[in-house]
Structure 1
């Protein structure tokens, strides 16, 4: 499969190295901030799928170009969720395929399932307070992370007392606090803790490297090659597990 990459930061370079090492696919175009005009090049158009790990303010404009050329688009960029309805409409309008995720690690997507299960168990356990902690490298621009927001929204959907999440501490029992930590060299860690005066229940996912994120985005591209529709990677993982 011929793949085009949009974004050549940590994730773009990791995807490139995995594809070169495995020889299963070919990267035909890499778009960075230095060659944005190449989105219109014949080389870019020759790709069978496009993986985007760029900037949140570029997601919609990138999608317009990719979907107009009937290419499946895999979006790993975070921080653009306020535009998700617009992107879905764009996908439907072009009869295209988009797979998006706050995190393309299959381990994290299993962690999402654990979070849902635990949140359902704790629905009526009001003696427990809840908090989310996320830790990433100091270069990460968005806080809280997209993964933390996904975890928070899932908990909010199952705990009727919560009305929203907040970034940082909160004295309001109707707000779910997310604490963002930035440490040099950290890859990614997320934990959910339920605390009472007597004990703590917690679950945690810690990434040791970015390989699983990159492999997940490639898996999504392979799956999307003949598909139409707007999918979260979590949906894709569940469909693959059922097949």
Structure 2
């Protein structure tokens, strides 16, 4: 956090030096948090563990600010989203708008696959906050979350949607089994709030989740339908 603050203060003098320092501190944070940054581990929900007390929401606000600060650096953005998706807590309400905007941007179809997956993982981690959409006082933030997040999520789990008939619900599901479990858990959490229903139905999330139930329940692995 201190290195990030110093990087922002020195931005006008030599931003390349400050960014280099910032990139060096993230591997240290991974080591301290015992998190692997390998793309194959992005869906591992059991790899994380703090020594001592877990961080609070406010403790993570600097990571959200950093995510915005280095928005054109895909690898550092991946690192930050992977950390945020592994911590079991999200940012504070004060940074939620910025967090959601960056999530949506990182889910864009032009972004690298591993970055888009890390963004979906971070959204899954913050699913309860996003489900409580009516508790958000900022009307602009509510509109952003409701109208932009749902299609962004769909673009990650169905990257070939534009070339796939709407009736074909099997496209790309279970290509990444743990990814799709996180996806279903995210959609189920959002669906608990009726404000989400028109958006989830309009983007065919509900139909897709229903089509996944049989295959999930037949598996011996964990499934989210409880």
TM-score scaled by structure 2?
Answer: 0.33
**Structure with more relative contact order (C-alpha pairs < 8 Å, separation 6 or more):** 1
Q: Whose helix proportion is higher, 1 or 2?
A: 2
Structure whose alpha-carbon radius of gyration is higher: 1
Q: Whose strand proportion is higher, 1 or 2?
A: 1
TM-score scaled by structure 1?
Answer: 0.31
